[in-house]
């Protein structure tokens, strides 16, 4: 009888707060997740190709390609593409924020201003929604990550690259990418990555760092995480 009582007491203890993480997990999976990814960089760097390859979908099927004259006069725009993705029963509402016109003008002074304004607006809107009475169906349009494409033809970061990342690094997770890296030799890629790393540290730019693995993760996942950190080391090549 004493054993049964202890067993029943143990079950009661387990059913309460101990199962809360599992309950949150199941609820989150059922509801789905929102992820907003911004891509920035001048035209021709492979932004749309990368996004379509990452998520196995064509988000740019209605895109209009501009000629050289139209690109000169184009200002920086903010264009959103949204698609619902489901994999293994987990739903993801993916929003891609594109920035056509960035870096394409002859004078790119403060061309990042419309982008920083947009990010700030999303934070302000989310704050207003959370401060309101109806918080059940809040749409989270905050930018969670920014992929910034660096041209492979220079010898490091350009002034516009430095100013863009310094303007955004306190607002959003930035992942710098060396675009079109297949046009460089392995030795050239290494030299360019080393130079970009040095300049990122020199200018005090904060870029996204892979988080540490939880101690209870399996060894295969830990090894994969270790390899990703070693391969990227601040800058990814495409």
> Which two tokens mark 110?
């403060």
Boundaries of every domain in the chain: 32-233
The two beta strands, 236-237 and 145-150, are unpaired
What integer pLDDT is reported at residue 206 of this predicted model?
92
> Which two tokens mark 119?
């990010």
The two beta strands, 173-178 and 236-237, are parallel
Q: Could you report the average pLDDT of every consecutive run of 10 residues in the chain (238 residues)?
A: 50 53 70 87 85 79 65 75 81 88 78 92 90 77 93 89 93 92 89 92 90 74 74 55
3-state DSSP helix/strand/coil % of the chain, to nearest 5: 45, 15, 40
DSSP string, 85-138: EEETTEEEEEEEEE-TTTT-SS--TTTTHHHHHHHHHHHHHHHHHHHSS--TT-
Torsion of CA 142, 134, 29, 220, to 10 degrees: 40
What integer pLDDT is reported at residue 169 of this predicted model?
94
Q: What is the pTM of this model?
A: 0.77
58, 66 in Cβ contact below 8 A?
A: no
Q: Which CATH number does the domain 32-233 belong to among 3.40.50.300, 3.20.20.70, 1.25.10.10, 3.40.50.11930?
A: 3.40.50.300
What integer pLDDT is reported at residue 69 of this predicted model?
62
What integer pLDDT is reported at residue 105 of this predicted model?
73
What integer pLDDT is reported at residue 157 of this predicted model?
92
The residues with which 31 forms a beta bridge, in sequence order, are none
Neighbours of 198 (CB within 10 A): 13
């Amino acid at each position: 009888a004493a054993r049964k009582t202890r067993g029943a007491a143990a079950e009661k203890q387990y059913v309460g707060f101990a199962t809360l993480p599992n309950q949150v997990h199941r609820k989150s999976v059922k509801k789905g997740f929102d992820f907003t990814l911004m891509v920035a960089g001048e035209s021709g760097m492979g932004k749309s190709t990368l996004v379509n390859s990452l998520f196995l979908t064509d988000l740019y099927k209605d895109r209009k390609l501009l000629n050289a004259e139209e690109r000169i006069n184009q200002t920086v725009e903010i264009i959103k593409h949204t698609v619902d993705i489901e994999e293994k029963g987990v739903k993801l509402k993916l929003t891609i924020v594109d920035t056509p016109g960035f870096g394409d003008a002859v004078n790119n002074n403060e061309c990042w201003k419309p982008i920083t304004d947009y990010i700030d607006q999303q934070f302000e809107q989310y704050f207003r929604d959370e401060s309101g009475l109806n918080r059940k169906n809040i749409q989270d349009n905050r930018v969670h990550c920014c992929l910034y494409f660096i041209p492979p033809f220079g010898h490091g970061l350009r002034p516009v690259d430095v100013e863009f990342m310094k303007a955004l690094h306190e607002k959003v997770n930035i992942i710098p990418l060396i675009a079109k890296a297949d046009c460089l030799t392995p030795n050239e890629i290494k030299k360019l990555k080393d130079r970009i790393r040095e300049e990122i540290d020199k200018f005090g730019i904060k870029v996204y760092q892979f988080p540490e693995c939880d101690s209870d993760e399996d060894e295969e996942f830990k090894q994969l995480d270790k390899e990703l950190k070693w391969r990227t080391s601040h800058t990814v090549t495409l």
